[in-house]
Each structure stands twice: as C-alpha cells, then as structure tokens.
Amino acid sequence: MFKRLRADIRAAKANDPAARNKFEIWLTYSGVKALSSHRVAHFFYKIKLKLLARIISQFAKFRTGIEIHPAAKIAGGVFIDHGSGVVIGETAEIEEGVVIYQGVTLGGTGKEKGKRHPTIKRGTIISAGAKILGGFTVGEYAKIGAGAVVLEEVPPYATVVGIPGKVVRINGEKVCDLEQEKTDPVENEIAELKARIAKLEEQINGKDGK
C-alpha cells in the first residue's frame, strides 16, 4: 500500500508543474488522498467487509469530491488532477501512468452484469469532462479529449474527440477529419422538408395548369 502511495506521489510530481514537493502533495492533493482511501477500501472489499469498504469510499467522496467504487482495480502511479466530479465504477481497471482530470466518468451503459466499466491501459490521458462508458479497453498512451463520450474500444496511441468519440489520430497521424463528419440532424430534416414542399408545389402547379 505504501509502495503505491509513493508511486502516486511521484506521478503527481511528474505531471503537475505546480507541485513543489512530495510532502505538500501528500498533505493537499485530493487525487492522492482519494487513491489512498481507495486502497484501504479495496483491501476491506477483498476480504468481504464490503459495507466497511463502501463507508470508507463514501467518506473519501465527501472529503475529495472523487467517487471510486471499492472494487475498482487501480495500479500505483495514477494521477487524478484536481479530481472534483471524477467517478470510477465497480469493474473499472486503471494501469500505471494514467492521468485523469476533473469531471471524468469511467462508467457503464446500463444494468448489464459482469465487466461493464472500462479498462484504461498505461499512459492514457483522460481530459476534463470525458465520459468512457462500457466494458471495453482504452489502449496504451491514448488521449481522450475534453468532453468526449467514448462508447467503443480505443486503439493504443490514439487520440479521441467528440460526441460520440471518434479516433482522429493514431501515433500522431490523422486518420479522420472530424470537421467533414459533422452533420446537423435538424438541418438535414429541414432540407428534406423543403424538398418535399417543393415537390408538392410542382404537383399542385401542374394540376392547376391543366
């Protein structure tokens, strides 16, 4: 447990330019506090003291604004920056080197059983407000854009943006032009209605001319 705490503190120091020293990080960083509490809760969850584990996780949520289910599997060396509004579900798995910003949700898509929350592989960056929903894998060193809603598997080294999330780059090379794929369903429907009105007017005018 202490080994993972040290790894969490090192991750905070490496990823936050505002971090001055390890003692300050340990005392004041909500992400480090939430992860420390989660490791205690996870221990009790594994030995079947699930009520105690949930109480610890809820107390940590009250203190930090970060909600982590006690069953979630989180490696050492994860950094939750700011952290307010972060939610991590029961079957989520997070590997080392992952960076998570405020407002991120690692959730499910309904009441399905089994593995229903994402697996986040090492080195992934999940930007503020992103939602990753489902029991799929986000590959190593992926980047999830702010506010993206990811509903399907993400390959390693990919950059995902948009709602729903689309892979726009892999290894820095563009694979999708998001601008060309933007469509407005309301605009499309209006265009279809205009076309139908024009067709009806042609039919009416044709009848009047007879």
Per-residue pLDDT reduced to its tens digit, 55-78: 999 999 998 999 999 999 999 889
For residue 191, is it within any domain? Answer: no
What is residue 180's predicted lDDT score, i.e. its pLDDT?
Answer: 46
- CA-to-CA distance for 166 and 160, rounded, in angstroms? 5
89 is a domain residue: yes
Answer whether residue 204 is part of any domain: no
Domain-located, residue 166: yes
Q: How much is the pLDDT for 69? A: 94
Q: Which residue has the higher pLDDT, 22 or 98?
A: 98
Domain of 30, CATH number, reads 2.160.10.10
Range of 155's domain? 2-182
Name the more confident of 95 and 25.
95
Residue 137 has φ and ψ, to the nearest 5°, of -110, 135
Average pLDDT for the chain: 85
- In this predicted model, which residue has the larger pLDDT, 190 or 178? 190
Does 22 map to a domain? yes
Highest mean pLDDT among 156-160, 173-177, 205-209: 156-160
Average pLDDT over residues 13-31: 80
Asked whether residue 210 is domain-assigned, the answer is no
List the helix and strand counts (H, then E) for the chain.
Answer: 6, 16
Is 206 domain-assigned? no
Q: Is residue 196 part of a domain?
A: no
| Count of C-beta atoms within a 10 Å radius of residue 163 | 11
Residue 209 confidence class, pLDDT cut points 50, 70, 90: low
Contact 92, 73 (CB under 8 A): yes
Which structure tokens are listed for 127?
Answer: 């930007």
Scan for tokens 């892979």, then name that residue: 167
Q: What is the distance between the alpha carbons of residues 89 and 69, in angstroms, rounded to a whole number?
A: 5
Residue 120 has pLDDT above 80, yes or no: yes
In this prediction, residues 72-86 reach a mean pLDDT of 89
pLDDT band at 26 (very low <50, low <70, confident <90, very high): confident
The total of structural domains in the chain comes to: 1
